[in-house]
């Protein structure tokens, strides 16, 4: 009885199963935390299993849609709202990434949370619902609901289980995100009021009837909400605080999935609905992205805290994603799609590793370490691989994504394309500099002589559990680097469709988009 229901409501199941599981776990008393954690991991793994078994077998339907659920939900003030979920090339791998990262993160931070860990894991599952829902929602109001619903669990994860400045960081995270999304709501309601629907296709048609100025203004409102989430320079200031204060698990999910929703929002909604305005502002987006790449890298270099360094490297890497999208080419955007996955895997892994060393040393200051390689060889190996993938060494995942993005930007035909590509390449160099410098100071050289320092607390290498968490991530890093086509095949048609309306600038080679794959 359950199987047929699940086959016809696969996405509903994937989206809401974690929530139901989390809601049940919330009722567990504190002394049952271990059991609650176990059940949470089992629940998340079950969701992953269902996704792995079912999603890869889906045949591509009309317009590349793999799976569709569409039902009328309610009508208020004259605009119908639909319960419209779909899985297609744009969100397929992000959904897989999400269901994959959540159980892994839980396992990776099994012992990190000392108090009320069961509640934290329950909130995690609820967060998973918000993220998956936002990824598959096609109706804009539904998307908005999931988008906002993600905030609450994340707020509490940072606020309750975070570091010393957690209240400040959590409130800042909440207010920044809401500032963008509330103004976006006004734009959304305006467009929906004009279109009489929350469906992106209908809204896009309505948008073409609007004056160009209005379209541009609406695009800016849409872009603002998404850019805060990405976060694009200069709206990034919440990110380092949130990352530094959040517990490891929160950081992994924040970097791994939440940030992607911003760039995904551009691809899914902002650009297809306002293609003209998007082309008009592509230069501005590219400029901000390039600044984010270089600035993020420079600031990362100066950090004394490993986690903060990784947080600023996120700003830089997400700058690449936005640059790829701003190039408005299929190649660049495909690169952005890949880079989103890369960043999710690499930075997620980095945060996990930082969390592992923090659990042992109770410090994250670079200066407190030194010579860690001697004490923890296995950990060092993993950290080196992930560092190299974050830098973008060929054969690791980072390379493929950055290459496509730079390629797309260079050939985009926009006047700024080549300049932006040059500066972005500088960002790649800088990323090598800050990551390797940090690696050198933490892992190599003599041990920190101070007996109170971090190194002297590192008495055991990774446990089998931690190795089991890292292995799939490392495998993915190489797979994505060696055969990126696996991860690009689904999205190509979809990306092309999303960009169809955005006018290509004059001077772009005509055959370019179809030629390069």
Q: Tokens 């860690």 appear where? A: 372
Least distance in angstroms from the C-beta of 139 to other proteins: 13
Least distance in angstroms from the C-beta of 35 to other proteins: 17
Does the footprint of other proteins cover residue 152 (CB under 8 A)? yes
Least distance in angstroms from the C-beta of 97 to other proteins: 24
Q: Name the CA dihedral angle for 217, 208, 496, 196, rounded to a multiple of 10 degrees.
A: 90
Q: Name the CA dihedral angle for 182, 187, 189, 195, rounded to a multiple of 10 degrees.
A: -160
Question: Cβ closer to other proteins: 17 or 306?
Answer: 17
Residues 258 and 269: their CA atoms lie apart, in Å, by: 16
Does the footprint of other proteins cover residue 433 (CB under 8 A)? no
Does the footprint of other proteins cover residue 237 (CB under 8 A)? no
Does the footprint of other proteins cover residue 144 (CB under 8 A)? yes
Name the token pair of 325.
């999208």
Question: Cβ closer to other proteins: 148 or 447?
Answer: 148
Count CA within 13 A, CB hemisphere, residue 151. Answer: 18
Q: Is 499 exposed, middle or buried (0-12, 13-18, 19+ CB in 10 A)?
A: buried
Applying CB under 8 A, the span of 190-198, 271-279, 397-405, 423-431 interacting with other proteins comes to 190-198
Does the footprint of other proteins cover residue 211 (CB under 8 A)? no
Question: What is the distance in angstroms between the CA of the first residue and the CA of the last residue of the chain?
Answer: 44
Please provide the DSSP assignment of 286-299 as one string. Answer: HHHHHHHHHHHHHH
Q: Which of 487, 480, 293 is CA-nearest to residue 400?
A: 480
Q: Tokens 């990774």 appear where? A: 462
Question: Cβ closer to other proteins: 183 or 202?
Answer: 183
Question: Cβ closer to other proteins: 191 or 494?
Answer: 191
Name the token pair of 174.
């909440």
Q: Residues 370, 501: contact at Cβ < 8 Å?
A: no
Question: Cβ closer to other proteins: 46 or 79?
Answer: 79
Q: What is the largest CA-CA distance in the chain?
A: 71
Of the candidate residues 24, 50, 65, 185, the single one contacting other proteins (CB under 8 A): 185
Q: Residues 478, 388: contact at Cβ < 8 Å?
A: no
Q: Which of 202, 204, 120 is CA-nearest to residue 157?
A: 120
Least distance in angstroms from the C-beta of 454 to other proteins: 27
Binding mask 73-112 for other proteins (x = CB under 8 A): xxxxxxx-x-------------------------------
Least distance in angstroms from the C-beta of 222 to other proteins: 15
Residues 206 and 194: their CA atoms lie apart, in Å, by: 6
Does the footprint of other proteins cover residue 384 (CB under 8 A)? no
Q: Say which residues have a Cβ less than 8 Å from residue 3's Cβ, sequence separation at least 6.
A: none
Question: Cβ closer to other proteins: 168 or 512?
Answer: 168
H helices within 27-150, ranges in order? 33-55, 89-108, 117-136, 140-149
Between helix 330-361 and helix 492-500 the angle, nearest 10°, is: 120
Does the footprint of other proteins cover residue 156 (CB under 8 A)? yes
Least distance in angstroms from the C-beta of 203 to other proteins: 14
Least distance in angstroms from the C-beta of 259 to other proteins: 20
Sign of torsion, CA 241 244 246 249? positive
Does the footprint of other proteins cover residue 136 (CB under 8 A)? no
Question: Cβ closer to other proteins: 133 or 296?
Answer: 133
Does the footprint of other proteins cover residue 58 (CB under 8 A)? no
Does the footprint of other proteins cover residue 24 (CB under 8 A)? no
Question: Cβ closer to other proteins: 174 or 354?
Answer: 174
Question: Cβ closer to other proteins: 162 or 256?
Answer: 162
Least distance in angstroms from the C-beta of 167 to other proteins: 6
Size of the site for other proteins (CB under 8 A): 36
Give me the residues that bind other proteins (CB under 8 A), please. Answer: 26, 73-79, 81, 116, 144-145, 148-149, 151-152, 155-156, 159-160, 166-167, 170-171, 174-175, 178-179, 182-183, 185-186, 189-190, 192-193
């Amino acid at each position: 009885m359950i199987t047929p229901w699940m086959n016809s409501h696969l996405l509903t199941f994937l989206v809401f199963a974690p929530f139901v599981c989390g809601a049940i776990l919330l009722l567990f008393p504190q002394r049952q935390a271990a059991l609650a954690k176990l059940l949470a991991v089992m629940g998340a793994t079950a969701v992953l299993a269902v996704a792995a078994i079912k999603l890869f077998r889906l045949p591509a339907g009309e317009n590349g849609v793999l799976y569709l659920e569409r039902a009328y939900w309610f009508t208020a003030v004259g605009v119908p709202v639909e319960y419209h979920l779909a899985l297609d090339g744009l969100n397929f791998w992000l959904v897989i990434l999400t269901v994959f990262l959540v159980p892994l993160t839980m396992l990776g931070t099994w012992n990190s949370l000392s108090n009320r860990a069961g509640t934290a894991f329950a909130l995690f599952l609820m967060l998973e619902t918000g993220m998956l829902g936002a990824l598959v929602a096609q109706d804009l109001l539904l998307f908005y609901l999931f988008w906002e619903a993600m905030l609450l669990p994340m707020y509490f994860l940072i606020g309750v289980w975070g570091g010393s400045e957690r209240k400040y960081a959590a409130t800042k995270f909440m207010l920044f995100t809401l500032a963008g999304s509330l103004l976006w709501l006004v734009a959304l309601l305006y467009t929906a009021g004009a279109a009489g629907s929350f469906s992106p296709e209908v809204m896009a048609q309505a948008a073409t009837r609007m004056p160009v100025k209005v379209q541009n203004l609406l695009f800016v409102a849409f872009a603002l909400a998404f850019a805060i989430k990405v976060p694009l320079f200069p709206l990034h200031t919440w990110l380092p605080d949130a990352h530094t204060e959040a517990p490891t698990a929160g950081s992994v999910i924040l970097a791994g999935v939440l940030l992607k929703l911003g760039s995904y929002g551009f691809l899914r909604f902002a650009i297809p609905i306002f293609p003209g305005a998007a082309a008009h502002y592509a230069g501005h987006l590219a400029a901000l992205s390039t600044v984010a790449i270089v600035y993020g890298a420079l600031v990362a270099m100066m950090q004394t805290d490993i986690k903060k360094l990784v947080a600023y490297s996120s700003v830089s890497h997400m700058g690449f994603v936005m640059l790829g999208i701003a190039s408005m080419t299929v190649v660049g955007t495909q690169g952005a799609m890949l880079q989103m996955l890369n960043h999710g895997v690499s930075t997620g892994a980095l945060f996990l590793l930082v969390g592992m060393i923090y659990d042992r040393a109770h410090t994250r200051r670079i200066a407190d370490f030194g010579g860690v390689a001697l004490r923890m060889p296995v950990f060092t190996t993993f950290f080196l691989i992930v560092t190299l993938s974050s830098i973008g060494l060929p054969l690791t995942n980072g390379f493929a994504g950055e290459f496509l993005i730079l390629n797309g930007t260079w050939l985009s035909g926009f006047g700024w394309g080549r300049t932006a590509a040059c500066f972005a390449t500088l960002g790649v160099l800088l990323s090598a500099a800050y990551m390797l410098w940090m690696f050198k100071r933490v892992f190599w050289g003599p041990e920190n002589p101070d007996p109170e320092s971090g190194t002297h607390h590192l008495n055991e290498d990774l446990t089998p559990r931690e190795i089991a968490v890292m292995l799939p991530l490392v495998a993915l890093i190489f797979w994505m680097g060696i055969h990126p086509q696996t991860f690009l095949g689904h999205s190509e048609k979809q990306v092309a469709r999303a960009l169809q309306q955005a006018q290509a600038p004059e001077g772009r080679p005509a055959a370019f988009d179809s030629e390069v794959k």
